[in-house]
Amino acid sequence: MKFPLIAAAALCVLAPLGHAAESDAAARAAAQKLASDRKIDGFEKSPIPGYYQAIIGSQVLYVSENGRYVLQGTLYDADAKVDLTAARLARVNVGRLDAYPTAKRITFAPKSKPKYKVTVF
């Protein structure tokens, strides 16, 4: 008697996860369809409910869960007055810079401790 109850509870917990995977697949397919010659560098939930954000090179695409709608442009949080797209791309660029070997970088360092650091590539 307990097994059907446990199975039903497990189904209730796991069913939304299966639905999320389906919507993720549709959104990924839509992003890849638009950028067929490029690799998707990152794919995650977007700050916009019902949308994912795909990082492709130096661009962010906002893709609806069902893959029907794709937005390209800057996403602002009007209340916080923050450019969410630029903030996300900044994290991507820092990751790319960190992945580049230090030995291959050209560095001009002052003799004293610098207050700021500028990277040119």
So where are the chain's domains? 2-104
CA 83 to chain centre: 15
Superfamily of domain 2-104 in the CATH hierarchy: Disulphide bond isomerase, DsbC/G, N-terminal (3.10.450.70)
Q: If pLDDT is split at 50, 70 and 90, which confidence band does 46 have?
A: very high
Contacts of 30 (CB under 8 A, 6+ apart): 63, 64, 67, 68, 70
Distance of CA 50 to the CA centre of its chain: 14
Q: How far is 70 from 57, CA to CA, in rounded Å?
A: 16
Q: What is the pLDDT of residues 85-103, one digit of tens each?
A: 999 999 998 888 888 888 8
Indicate the pTM of the whole model.
0.68
Distance, in Å, from the CA atom of 59 to the CA atom of 72, rounded to the nearest integer, reads 8
Please classify residue 115 by burial: count the beta carbons closer than 10 Å to its beta carbon, then call 0-12 exposed, 13-18 middle and 19+ buried. Answer: exposed
Q: Is the dihedral angle over the CA atoms 67, 69, 71, 50 positive or is it negative?
A: negative
Give the pLDDT mean for 101-116: 81
